[in-house]
Amino acid sequence: MVRIAPSEVAVASVSGFREVHRIGSKYTKSPWYEAIVPSPDPILFSMSDARKHTARRKLFAHGFSAAALRKNWETVVSQKAEAAIANIRREAEHGTTDVLKWFVLMATDVIAHLSFGQSLEMLETGEKSQYVQALETALFSDSLRAELPWFHAMMRHWPVKRIRDMVHSSDGYILEYGKKAIAAARGQEGGRTNLFANMLAEVDEKDGSSLTDSDIQWEAMGLIIAGSDTTAITLTYLIWAVLKRPDLQKRLEAEISAMEGLVTDAQLEKLPLLNATVDETLRLYGAAPGSLPRTVPFGGARLDGLFLPGGTTVSTQAFTLHRDPSIFEDPESFAVERFMDKATLSEYQKTAFSPFGAGARTCLGVHLAMMELRRGAALFFKQCTGARLSEGMTDEMMKMENRFLIAPIGHRCEITLQ
């Protein structure tokens, strides 16, 4: 346990992690979450009030279950993964292509389609839509305001318009576009539907759940932020880690090419090597491995034998747990074998392996993310057999930049089929 700021401690033990994140834990999300999310009221991701969070999460739970996602959205996910891989293959056959770019467009378009009931068509245009650009500006501005308020205030009055624009609110556009999510939820979009449609039917005022039009607009935004770069970055690291190991690449290509016909997610979930590769990627390169700050409950609490005053921020990080040699042997090496037979994992390892967080605040989109990771990777190794990293790609470029989500510092990952 290390004190990293006057009122913040970082905790690296499995027992500390379990206590802070277990179901029923009194540790709540710290105010940092509300500060970085550009919505007027807290959304599912940022809510610190446990009662309100439970009621809202109940509304989301069914639509994000593996069964509901497979029934309602597997075709959309597959089509978008196919479009992304087709673009990758086309470009790689004629030179090089940046897989990160295509996976960002893929994952963003998947979650946008589920949220708005229609595609943003970014895989067709090859560019981020205006909505996604507005989101990026809003997120950048709010993160800056949360982390460096004085600098944010200075930038708002900077004499250069381009700098001012970077921190100016894009709320108007985000809200306007968010109306599509409301219309689809209410069945007013020419038969199109979205994730929110069933949630409205499940609102139950008795248990305190509610979902106003404004909530839908902002929750749609939240889902797009939470569900786009996360999946895209993890999938990019998976491709990179495998292409660096040609033996593993060949074994994966063989496992996937042995499958015939239309393969479902349920079938992909049974492929041992593919799934072990996804898990090992999530261990070393899951996209949110950094601090997950929580507030110590009123009155204080004992953690790993130490008393922490109420209001202290406690942060745990998957990065540290996943690289602890007492938990995972030879932790820095990318070794898919450790996940080939899940029955061999100890309880200790299972608790420590937390790329999606844990407890009541565990990732809502885990099943969607896994579906995209499996489908994206399977299609890549089927359609892009023999792919190689481009000559210009260095390990240095794939080192992690950490801003809550990680990203390769080179901001691209180029491959070729030539």
Of residues 96, 108, 230, 249, which one binds ligand HEM by CB under 6 A? 230
Which residue carries 């579906």 as its tokens? 371
Do the beta carbons of residue 23 and residue 359 sit within 8 Å? yes
**Minimum Å distance from CB 284 to ligand HEM?**
12
Angle at 311 between CA 306 and CA 313, to 5 degrees: 70
Indicate the residue among 141 and 316 with the shorter CB distance to ligand HEM.
Answer: 316
At 285, list the tokens: 């390169």
> Considering the complex, what minimum distance in angstroms separates the CB of residue 117 from ligand HEM?
15
Q: Is 117 in the site for ligand HEM (CB under 6 A)?
A: no
For position 361 contacting ligand HEM by CB under 6 A, the verdict is yes
Q: Beta-carbon neighbour count of residue 321 at 10 Å?
A: 24
**390 touches ligand HEM (CB under 6 A):** no
Q: Does 290 bind ligand HEM (CB under 6 A)?
A: no
By beta carbon distance, the residue nearest ligand HEM is 365
Q: How far is the CB of 108 from ligand HEM (least distance, A)?
A: 10
**Using CB under 6 A as the criterion, what x/- string covers residues 51-70 for binding ligand HEM?**
------x-------------
222 within 8 A of 43, measured Cβ to Cβ:
yes
Q: What six digits make up the tokens of 269?
A: 């979930």
8 Å CB contact between 386 and 417: yes
Which residues 125-154 are close enough to bind ligand HEM by CB under 6 A?
Answer: none
Which residues, 6+ apart, have CB-to-CB distance to 10 below 8 Å? 1, 2, 4, 291, 315, 316, 317, 320
Report if residue 231 touches ligand HEM, rule: CB under 6 A: yes
Smallest gap, in angstroms, from Cβ of residue 154 to ligand HEM?
29
Q: How far is the CB of 356 from ligand HEM (least distance, A)?
A: 5
Using CA atoms, how far residue 314 sits from 175, 287, 310, 401, in Å, is 34, 20, 11, 22
Give whichever of 163 and 203 is closer to ligand HEM, judged by the CB atom.
203
Q: Which of 276, 292, 308, 389 binds ligand HEM (CB under 6 A)?
A: 292
Q: Which residues have C-beta within 8 Å of that of residue 375, sequence separation ≥ 6?
A: 77, 78, 81, 265, 268
Tell me how many helices (H) and strands (E) the chain has.
19, 12
- Residues annotated within the binding site are 363
234 makes contact with ligand HEM (CB under 6 A): yes
AA identity, residue 19: E
Q: Which one, 108 or 416, has the nearer CB to ligand HEM?
A: 108
User: Smaller CB distance to ligand HEM: residue 167 or 375?
Assistant: 375
The correct pick among 42, 365, 376, 410 for binding ligand HEM (CB under 6 A) is 365
**For ligand HEM, the closer CB: 163 or 327:** 327
- Answer yes or no: are the C-beta atoms of 320 and 12 closer than 8 Å: yes
Looking at 10, 14, 37, 111, which residue binds ligand HEM (CB under 6 A)? 111
- The answer to the question of residue 170 lying near ligand HEM (CB under 6 A) is no
DSSP, collapsed to helix, strand or coil, labels residue 406 as strand
The residue among 271 and 364 lying less far from ligand HEM, judged by its C-beta, is 364
CB of 368 to ligand HEM, least distance (A): 4
C-alpha span between 105 and 85 (Å, rounded): 11
Q: Which tokens hold the place of 87?
A: 């673009």
Distance CA 415, CA 412 (A): 10
Quick note: the x/- pattern for ligand HEM over 247-286, rule CB under 6 A, is ---------------------------------------x
Cα–Cα distance list, 242 to 249, 357, 408, 411, 415 (Å): 6, 25, 16, 18, 12
Tokens at residue 266, please? 């349920």
DSSP string, 376-388: HHHHHHHHSTT-E
Residues 15-44, interacting with ligand HEM (CB under 6 A): 44
In whole angstroms, the minimum distance from the beta carbon of 68 to ligand HEM comes to 13
User: Of 3, 44, 411, 397, nearest to 219 (Cα)?
Assistant: 44
Candidate residues 273, 335, 363, 406; the one interacting with ligand HEM per rule CB under 6 A: 363
Q: For ligand HEM, how many residues bind (rule: CB under 6 A)? A: 23
Known binding-site residue numbers for heme: 363
Contacts (Cβ under 8 Å, ≥6 apart) of 270: none
Min dist CB 156 to ligand HEM, Å, is 28
The contact set with ligand HEM (CB under 6 A) reads 44-45, 57, 111, 223, 226-227, 230-231, 234, 286-288, 292, 355-357, 361, 363-365, 368-369
